Structure 1
Amino acid sequence: MLHILRKSWYQKTSTQKHIFILIAIGPALLGYLLFTLYPNITSVYYSLLYWTGVTKPDYVGFDNYVKIAHDHFFWNALYHNFLYTLIIPPLILIISLFLAYLLTYKGYRESSFYKVLYFFPNVLPVVVISLLWAFIYDGNFGLINAFLKMISIDIGEYYWLGHEKTAFWAIIPPTVWAGVGFYVVIIMNAMAAIPKSLYESAILEGASHTQRLYHITIPLINGVLRVCLLFIVLGLFRNFELILVLTNGGPSGSTDVVGLYMFNYAFGSKVGTATIHDYGYASAIGMCLFVILISIKLIMDKFLPDKTVEF
């Protein structure tokens, strides 16, 4: 009789546990299915259509993908994506690593304040950051032109975001500035987990700050740096809001990226010299972007394997 009661109590407890888990993760799982998985699956179908989002869709098969192969605007945007990927992630990682090391091991009393200060851009909306840098680059009252004039370099009313030769490079500083603070905090937390005894031993051996950084810190947080690099690279391909506000891909497509090009096609903004609205073609671009992101992840796993060191 006691055995039966124990079994009944166990089954009741197990059922309650499953019900609790379902209630706990149900809303999040439902949101993921409705707003992430379902749109991604339907995008595969939409990529086979010509559809403005309003009119009746026409099935065109793989014509959208054939069009992408001959679309020089798409390849120009993809080229800019790869250029930004070669330049911005190393800058963000190097600056973040340097600042995190200073704040963690130099013992500044103001470290907590600097940590908040560096993280501040991540609290601001992207639109605010974009408008802030638009004022900095402005030709009439921008800070850059004012600074150059102060040191006797008068370039007149030069609009940095309005010229093809400078617009592309002008996107890099705000992107780096907006991203550094987040990774400073992550890297600082990873450094804080390293045993102090390792550094004490290195100091007794006469190791400099540079030697400690390269031979102790970086190897022990290699896994964290790898994840940070992955987030930065994937974010550069997916996010385009800053470029949308600053230049909208101009002038003459010199700052266009794949995400922005897809957005413009989907919502009827100006693409090249014409205003086009084709949700099906935008979905095909999104599928190409998905394949690119998966390929980048696999390449990084191949050439940058996780070498996390346990201590």
Structure 2
Amino acid sequence: MATLRTDRDLTRPKRSSLLQRANVQKWIFLTFAIVPTFGGYLLFALYPNLLSIYYSLLDWNGITEPKFIYFENYVRLFNDRYVWRALGHNLFYMATVPVCVILISLVLSYLLTNKGYKGTSFYKVLFFFPNVLSTVVVSLLWAFIYDGSFGLLNALLKVFGIDMDGFYWLGDTRTAMYAVLPPYVWAGVGLYIVIFMNAMTTIPKSLYEAAILEGAGHMTRLFRITIPLITPLIRVSAIFLVLGTLKSLDLILILTRGGPAGSTDVIGLYMFNMAFGEQVQNYGYASAIGMFLFVILVGAKLLVDKLLPDRGYEY
């Protein structure tokens, strides 16, 4: 006896076919969306890092036949006093640049957001301007400021009765390392002012109004309301600044080339000179320094996680 097929039975194969087609389209989209990015990461990030591990076991200048020397480069690294001197400079910038950038950015962002100044958008663009400039332009600008003969800094000090007598701030071992600090801070503050201002505008004004009624001043509101509510953003900013400071070499390369007498040398610049220097070209030893820098970066990330735990506040 034949059975009657209902409308639901007739539409079931069509619905199943549509679901299968949608599933296939989804996987095609995911493939084209993920594969290029993941392939680029494998090709330009993971593969070079794995290759650097292999290079760090070689005595090789990039031209002659490489010689496998096992861990001799690492033994040389730990006995190289110039590496530890450069690491000390890195640690100095790591401890000062993020703190200065975040504190200045927080204070200026709070004032621009809560003081009601006219032209806030103009100030935001003005502070962000250094981030539009290339590192070369920033470096040359500050090199001119520190110039002994025509520098703006010496001219400004002379107005206040301090004659530096042609002192070149980047050419003296006593001042060169400290003179590199302001360009780092000046070039980084603008971006974080914009980021912090955008975060502060999302905080309900009722919280500030309630604090004002209770007699809280600006510093109390900043440290009791604003900073706790944007702590996750400050934590991420600190991570970016710490890791960026440890890896950076371009600004110092243009300003001082690590001089005078190595007083501004950093790990990244020392590694660059080992690989592409005019007198020394040793890719194997430079790769070992790169692996050492990688370990330091991981340690710095863990240190920031320890000092700034990932906890936020709700309102």
Give the alignment's TM-score, normalised by structure 2. Answer: 0.94
Secondary structure, aligned partner of 1:164: coil
| Higher alpha-carbon deviation: 27-36 or 140-149 | 27-36
CA deviation map 1:216-248 (0-9, x unaligned) = 111111111111111111111011100000001
CA deviation map 1:23-62 (0-9, x unaligned) = 1233322222211111111111111111112222111111
Q: Which residue does the alignment assign to 2:7?
A: none
**1:213 maps onto 2:222 in alignment:** yes
Q: Distance in 2 between matches of 1:64 and 1:195?
A: 56
**1:276 maps onto 2:280 in alignment:** yes
Q: Distance in 2 between matches of 1:219 and 1:155?
A: 44
Q: Which residue does the alignment assign to 2:4?
A: none
Q: How does 1:107-256 map to 2 (within 5 A)?
A: 107-256=116-265
Q: Distance in 1 between matches of 2:34 and 2:116?
A: 42
**Offset at 1:154?**
1.3
Q: How does 1:285-304 map to 2 (within 5 A)?
A: 285-304=289-308
**Offset at 1:163?**
0.7
Q: Percent identical across equivalent pairs?
A: 58
Q: Which residue does the alignment assign to 2:84?
A: 75
Q: How does 1:33-48 map to 2 (within 5 A)?
A: 33-48=42-57
Q: Distance in 2 between matches of 1:4 and 1:296?
A: 58
Unaligned runs of 5+ in 2: 1-9
- The one-letter amino acid of 2:140's match is L
**Offset at 1:4?**
2.0
Q: Between Structure 1 and Structure 2, how many residues are aligned?
A: 306
Give the alignment's TM-score, normalised by structure 1. Answer: 0.96
Q: Which residue does the alignment assign to 1:272?
A: none
**1:3 maps onto 2:12 in alignment:** yes
**1:98 maps onto 2:102 in alignment:** no
- The one-letter amino acid of 1:246's match is L
Q: How does 1:16-35 map to 2 (within 5 A)?
A: 16-35=25-44
Larger Cα-atom Rg: 2
- The one-letter amino acid of 1:306's match is D
Q: Distance in 2 between matches of 1:310 and 1:37?
A: 38
8 Å CA contact 2:136–2:251 kept in 1: the answer is yes
Q: Which residue does the alignment assign to 1:52?
A: 61
The Cα RMSD (Å) is 1.1
- The one-letter amino acid of 1:143's match is L
8 Å CA contact 2:238–2:304 kept in 1: the answer is no
Q: Distance in 1 between matches of 2:108 and 2:157?
A: 27
Secondary structure, aligned partner of 1:256: coil
Q: Distance in 2 between matches of 1:172 and 1:299?
A: 22
Secondary structure, aligned partner of 1:157: coil
- The one-letter amino acid of 1:195's match is P
Secondary structure, aligned partner of 1:237: helix
Q: Distance in 2 between matches of 1:88 and 1:302?
A: 19
Q: Distance in 1 between matches of 2:239 and 2:285?
A: 28
Secondary structure, aligned partner of 1:263: helix
Q: Distance in 1 between matches of 2:306 and 2:129?
A: 35
Secondary structure, aligned partner of 2:113: helix
Q: Distance in 2 between matches of 1:19 and 1:38?
A: 26
